[in-house]
Amino acid sequence: MRLIRPGSHLVTLTAALTGAVMISFSAIFFGLSGVSPITGAFFRVAYALPVLFLLWFLRRRQDRRPLSRHWIAIGAGVALCADLLSWHNSIGFIGTGLATLIANTSVIFVAIGAWILFRERPRRTTMLAIPVILFGVTLVSGLGQGDAFGSNPVRGTVLALMAAVFYASYLLSLRHSNDEQAPAAGPLMEATLGATISLLILGMFTGGLDLAFSWPAHGWLLALALGSQVVAWLMITYALPRLPAVETATIILIQPALTMVWGAIIFDERPSGLQILGAAIILGGVAVVALVRARPSAPAVS
């Protein structure tokens, strides 16, 4: 029988909850910074990079991944770049809460991607939840609703869905880059490096990247980078695989639910009744998918 240290579950659960609460402020910190989407994305990863490098350097001897896996992690950063840009742009059209909620539908795209790439067949419950979630997304988009919240909720919804697809690609690539189970800081640092380089190149070509330091904008960006990109991400990466399925599913839902609360309090975001109904449907569907995926994987398709 494997021995478990007293209190270890409580420590793990606390780490996961703390990480989820910290990440729930990601959209809020970006919104408070007032910078352009690409500027916010760039400094989120650029400020995090030195800290992640230091964390990786201290444990570099435990990172025995082959060179190909390092390149895959850097490539995952390109998907992270696309995710952050799509998500930040969606916030301007549909608000912090709804944009974050829709972006969290990435769980269904992770399930589909794992089926295609790793032959991990999703359970029937997951497949049934997908159209339900998409119905909720349609309601959130405000399609045909005169009182829908957001300057352009349909465009914001489309961009947030794109962010969900890109984020799923990022997670799947990051997973493949660390099948050797190296310390999480290594792959995360390399993905952050890939995103930083991608955003810098894109910003130079588009001219939308503002490298000038300003306060308090960069104070919010520092909080976003060190809080969400480093501390919270490492906490969740450590904790979720060690928690029971029900707790994992619940914690995954805390982030978007809290972001909607913060958006209402800080930015006075008031979705319509149908949008709130859609949000509840999405949360329920995501909970089902997260709960199912947290259980032992289904047999691979032959």
Mean pLDDT of 265-275: 92
Q: What is the pLDDT of residues 210-250, one digit of tens each?
A: 999 999 999 999 999 999 888 888 888 777 667 776 666 67
- Using CA atoms, how far residue 302 sits from 108, 121, 292, in Å, is 22, 10, 21
Of 272, 228, 277, 287, nearest in space to 105 by CA: 287
Tally of CB atoms within 10 A around 42: 27
Mean pLDDT (the chain, rounded): 85
Q: 300 or 187: whose pLDDT is higher? A: 187
CB 174 within 8 A of CB 117: no
User: Is the model's pLDDT at 13 over the cut of 70?
Assistant: yes
Residue showing tokens 């493949």: 176
Predicted pLDDT of residue 302: 28
Predicted pLDDT of residue 296: 43
User: Is the model's pLDDT at 300 over the cut of 60?
Assistant: no
The CA-based dihedral angle spanning residues 268, 150, 104, 255, taken in that order and rounded to the nearest 10 degrees: 0
Q: 172 or 7: whose pLDDT is higher? A: 172
Predicted pLDDT of residue 172: 86
Predicted pLDDT of residue 11: 81
Neighbour-count burial for 232-249, b at 16+ CB within 10 Å, e otherwise: bbbbbbebbeebeeebbb
- Each domain of the chain, given as residue ranges in start order, spans 37-213+258-294
Neighbour-count burial for 145-178, b at 16+ CB within 10 Å, e otherwise: beebbbebbbbbbbbbbbbbbbbbbbbbbbbbbb
User: Is the model's pLDDT at 50 over the cut of 90?
Assistant: yes
Predicted pLDDT of residue 190: 92
User: Is the model's pLDDT at 7 over the cut of 70?
Assistant: no
Q: What is the pLDDT of residues 74-121, one digit of tens each?
A: 999 999 999 999 999 999 999 999 999 999 888 888 888 888 877 777
- pLDDT band, very low/low/confident/very high, at 298 (cuts 50, 70, 90): very low
Mean pLDDT of 1-22: 71
SS3 244: coil
